[in-house]
Amino acid sequence: MVESNDQTAPEGRGLWETIASEAERESPLWGAALRSDAEREPLAVFSPLGAPELSLGLETIYEGYLLHYGRPRLFAPADRDAAVLLGDYLYAHGLVRVARLGRVAVVSDLAELISLCSQLRAERSPGDGAAWAATVALVGSGDARLETARASLREGRDPGPLARLAEAVAGVEPVARALALHRERVE
């Protein structure tokens, strides 16, 4: 299948090929969960809002999120248990990949994102898309507005500040596109 964007992995292979092949090498269980090439939906959702060097790590983490809460693009595990385990593996693998860049603030922001979205999902509260968009747009920047906007969501269940912050940093149209793609995968 032709990739839907020009992003490539550091090793020179396509972003999606890298995520799939590394998971397949890690475990035969993950290899068995891979969709066929024709069934894969390799479309970047939030990584276009952030730094290009983070794309592989961000999309790996997001695929893990989709295994937990939505419709993954590359994998179709046999059952819910396998989906949760594979999602956990992809979370960890994506964080390790980002950590290799040596930017602790990026790893911290992404860990906070995973935690916040898990809380929202457990409470059946909206706002995970806005959290993803703002975090990716500002990841590792140390911008205090991100934590303030996260607090509005965490404590007041208001995703508006995160959405507006993402739009201010990444642009209205790119954020709208990312949020629309996200809704298609999680609703």
Alpha-carbon torsion, ordered 47, 84, 89, 53, to 10 deg: 0
Q: Is residue 5 part of a domain?
A: no
Question: Would 4 be classed as within a structural domain?
Answer: no
pLDDT digit string, tens, across residues 98-107: 999 999 999 9
Please give the pLDDT value at position 187: 84
Task: Determine the Cα–Cα distance for residues 13 and 163; give it in Å rounded to an integer.
Answer: 33
Question: How far apart, in whole angstroms, are the C-alpha atoms of residue 151 and residue 158?
Answer: 9
Give the residue numbers spanning the domain of 94. 15-186
Residue 7 domain-assigned (yes or no) = no
Residues 6+ apart with CB under 8 A from 16: 3, 40, 42, 59, 73, 74
Q: What does each C-alpha distance from 43 to 67, 150, 174 come to in angstroms?
A: 15, 26, 14
User: Which residues lie closer than 8 Å to 126 by C-beta, 6 or more apart?
Assistant: 120, 157, 159
Digit-coded pLDDT (tens) for 136-174:
999 999 999 999 999 999 998 999 999 999 999 999 999
Question: Of 133, 128, 107, 130, nearest to 117 (Cα)?
Answer: 128
Question: Is residue 24 situated within a structural domain?
Answer: yes
Does 1 have pLDDT greater than 80? Answer: no
Longest dimension (CA), the chain: 44
For the stretch 21-63, pLDDT in tens is 999 999 999 999 999 999 999 999 999 999 999 999 999 999 9
Q: How many structural domains are present in the chain?
A: 1
